[in-house]
Amino acid sequence: MTDKLLDVRDLAVSFRTDRGWIPAVDSVNFTLGEGDALGIVGESGSGKSVTALSLLRLHAERNTRIEGQVLWRGRDVLKLSRGQLQQLRGSEIAMVFQDPIHTLNPVLNIADQIGESLRIHQGMTGAAARRRAIELLDTVRIPDAARRVNDYPHQLSGGQRQRVMIAIAIACQPKLLIADEPTTALDVTVQAQIMELLRQLRADLGMSVILISHDLGLVSEFADRVMVMYAGQPIEMAPVDALFDLPLHPYSDGLISAIPDLDSDLDRLPTIAGSIPEPTRRPAGCRFAPRCPHQKADCRNTVLPMLEAGGGRAVRCTLHVTDKRAVA
């Protein structure tokens, strides 16, 4: 498995609350090769961000339990010491978060915030890190970089802040960029610019990218493969085109139908009836069963693994799969 950059096996995350441990995410399995772009899609509460943050163990340690394996080039991230983890973060795997209003430190200037990872991971001195920070601002197309580098986050617009976040993330030329809802808090026009920037950077730097979004349309334009999550589990994994041609899971089908189509003239957009169950009230069998239009008698109490569906696809549903073989 050395050609795999990232190999996530049976990842499960639970959080401690006043009412005990609550499972947020389970049964997450996926791999990522060099240069791959994987999209993780799901609605709020599906566990996509929880999954993303677990890859770098960014949850608060004292009330989070992460099980399974996150193999980064063969080494289990979940077993790394704190020092090894800090070496990995920001240098080999970098992250861009949603809501750039809050993800940049308001009291530190841009030069410091970009330069910090260069000083940590590449041993650069202050002056060299600063010069490189200006170059990086140029790369993410912030005009007048030499001057803006002295600015503080509140002096930048939302789009510019996200560009700065991206500059921070790519500073050490990571092999993997995890972008967690990178455009959710931004205007639609700015959103398109940021996605274009990410696409270009991915090509220029040869990074692998994991893009997390609730927006299936956005993901489909960016990723090669998509993992759809529902109620804390992946429920379908497929190449983007195949997923759009024929979604195998009724939930994916519902998501795709809910994307507005400019050519058709509808008064109301189709929706999926019901809402995502809370982590403590997840059905025992198929978690989508209560909302599923194709529900069968045994759906509610049969726990399904991801089933092999051919063509590099897998699905947690028997509707379109006749040969019921679990994915190895």
Partner 1 sequence: MIKLILTRLAQAVPVMLIVAILTFVLMKLLPGDPAVLLAGEGADLDKVDALRRELGLDRPLLIQLGSWLADLARFDLGRSLFLNQPVAEAIVERLPVTLSLAMVAFVMTIPIGIIMGMVAAYWRDSWVDTAVMSLALVGVSVPNFWLAILAIILFSVTLGWLPSAGYVPIDEGLWLWLRSLIMPAAVLALFQIGYLARMTRSEMLEVMDQDYVRTARAKGVSELRTVAKHAFRNALVSVLTVSGYIFSLLVGGSVVIEQIFALPGIGRLLVQAIMARDIPVVQGTMLFLGFMFVAINVLVDIFYTVVDPRVRYD
Q: Which positions lie near partner 1, rule CB under 8 A?
A: 56, 58, 62, 82, 86-91, 94-95, 97, 99, 102-109, 116-117, 120-121, 152, 154, 165, 168
Nearest distance, CB of residue 235 and partner 1, angstroms: 28
As a whole number of angstroms, the distance between CA 137 and CA 160 comes to: 10
Residue 281 structure tokens: 């009230």
- End-to-end CA distance of the chain, in Å? 14
Tell me how far, at minimum, the Cβ of 318 lies from partner 1, in Å.
39
* Least distance from partner 1 to the Cβ atom of residue 34, Å: 21
Nearer to partner 1, 147 or 154 (CB): 154
- Partners of 30 in beta bridges: 8
User: Helix 158-170 and helix 188-205: axis angle, to 10°?
Assistant: 10
Q: What span, in angstroms and rounded, lies between the C-alpha atoms of 18 and 226?
A: 35
The two beta strands, 307-310 and 313-315, are antiparallel
Task: Tell the smallest beta-carbon distance from residue 323 to partner 1 (Å).
Answer: 42
Q: Where are the alpha helices (DSSP H) in 206-259?
A: 216-222, 240-245, 250-257
Is the CB of residue 149 less than 8 Å from the CB of residue 137? yes
CB of residue 66 vs partner 1: minimum separation in angstroms?
Answer: 15
CB of 255 to partner 1, least distance (A): 27
Report d(CA 173, CA 189) in Å as an integer. Answer: 27
Query: Which CB atom, from 79 or from 102, has the smaller least distance to partner 1?
Result: 102
Helix (H, G, I), strand (E, B) or coil at 94: strand
Please state, in angstroms and as integers, the Cα–Cα distance from residue 245 to each residue in 128, 132, 182, 240, 312, following that order.
50, 44, 26, 9, 14
Rounded CA separation 289/302 (Å): 10
